[in-house]
């Protein structure tokens, strides 16, 4: 038991290790912008970015943009996760659906997400609905794949128990397949959260401009305010990091609670 604890790093240790590279990049950023190695117009020093951040927080622009992006992100993720679990259950449980749709799905998932933007814009316009659909599409793919994998990995013994007790279709799904697939589904939801956040920024950047972190970056680019652009990039990275760590913690707790 002691050897296992020594071999497995704690969450705090893993977090510290994960912060090493970002801190080194920040140091290199500061040195480069002050030493003249990089033109400060293209890579402004950290204190200038911090000053712009304070200004954007004070005038309410940054909180408003972040709230708009997070709302968009969560709506798209919720839609994509719900559809993903349903489609994953269908493909995992129905041999007919598997034969008909799996080949098509495997082909479609190879298409880069950004390539769907023109089609989604044609069907849903360039407003909020199109952005949410794009985010949902990004979030649904890992959820579908992991739900299918979890359902298909359900042990034969559990299936035999369901047959012995003559479970109905809904009982099999709710009491047997979903609990057995929970770890895999949670992994898919974790990945879906990350994909949804990346898709949120992509949707804001490539679709119609509007409130959001992507819109903040676009505004900085058009006004050639690189400090504002860098602020947007830093916020995107911080939110992505927080989403990843939060999802990992929730996933770990749920799986541990299930195994108690």
Residue count of the chain, please give it. Answer: 260
Task: Confirm if 232 and 217 have CB atoms less than 8 A apart.
Answer: yes
8 A C-beta contact, residue 116 and residue 174: no
CA distance 260 to 255: 9
The model's pLDDT over 203-237, given as tens digits with 9 standing for 90+, comes to: 988 886 678 898 889 888 888 888 999 999 999 99
C-alpha to C-alpha distance for 235 and 204, rounded to whole angstroms: 14
Of 6-10, 45-49, 133-137, 249-253, where does mean pLDDT reach its minimum? 6-10
**What topology does CATH give the domain 45-50+59-259?**
MetI-like fold (1.10.3720)
Radius of gyration of the chain, Cα coordinates, nearest whole angstrom: 22
Per cent of the chain over pLDDT 90 is 32
User: From residue 49, how far is each of 56, 65, 194 by CA, in Å?
Assistant: 10, 17, 25
Cβ atoms within 10 Å, residue 204: 27
In this prediction, residue 3 carries a pLDDT of 43
Q: Quick one: pLDDT band at residue 1, thresholds 50, 70, 90?
A: very low
Examine the pLDDT at 39 and tell me if it is beyond 70: yes
Q: Using a pLDDT cut of 70, give the percent of the chain over it.
A: 84
Instruction: Give the DSSP H or E segment for 11.
Output: helix 11-35
pLDDT at res. 195: 94
Model pTM score:
0.83
Q: How many angstroms separate the CA atoms of 80 and 101, rounded?
A: 18
Is the pLDDT higher at 64 or at 32? 64
Closest CA to 172 of 151, 143, 148: 151
List the single range of 119-123, 124-128, 136-140, 198-202 with lowest mean pLDDT.
Answer: 124-128
Q: Distance between CA atoms of 165 and 176, rounded to whole angstroms?
A: 12
């Amino acid at each position: 038991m002691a050897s296992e604890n020594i071999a497995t790093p704690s969450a705090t240790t893993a977090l510290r290790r994960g912060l090493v590279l970002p801190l080194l990049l920040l140091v290199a950023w500061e040195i480069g912008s002050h030493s003249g190695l990089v033109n400060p117009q293209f890579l402004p020093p950290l204190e200038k970015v911090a000053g712009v951040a304070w200004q954007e927080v004070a005038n309410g622009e940054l909180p408003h943009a972040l709230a708009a992006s997070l709302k968009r992100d969560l709506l798209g993720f919720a839609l994509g996760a719900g559809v993903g679990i349903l489609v994953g259950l269908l493909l995992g449980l129905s041999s007919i659906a598997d034969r008909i749709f799996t080949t098509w799905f495997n082909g479609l998932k190879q298409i880069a997400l950004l390539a769907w933007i023109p089609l989604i814009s044609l069907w849903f316009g360039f407003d909020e609905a199109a952005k949410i659909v794009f985010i949902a599409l990004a979030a649904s793919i890992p959820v579908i794949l992991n739900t299918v994998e979890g359902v298909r990995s359900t042990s034969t013994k559990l299936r035999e128990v369901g047959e012995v007790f003559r479970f109905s279709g809904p009982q099999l799904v709710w009491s047997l397949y979903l609990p057995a697939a929970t770890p895999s589904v949670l992994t898919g939801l974790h990945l879906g959260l990350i994909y949804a956040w990346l898709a949120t920024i992509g949707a804001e950047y490539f679709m119609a401009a509007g409130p959001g972190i992507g819109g903040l970056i676009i505004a900085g680019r058009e006004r050639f305010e690189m400090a504002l652009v860098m602020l947007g990039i830093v916020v995107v990275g911080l939110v992505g990091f927080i989403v990843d760590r939060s999802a990992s913690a929730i996933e770990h707790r749920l799986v541990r609670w299930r195994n108690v």
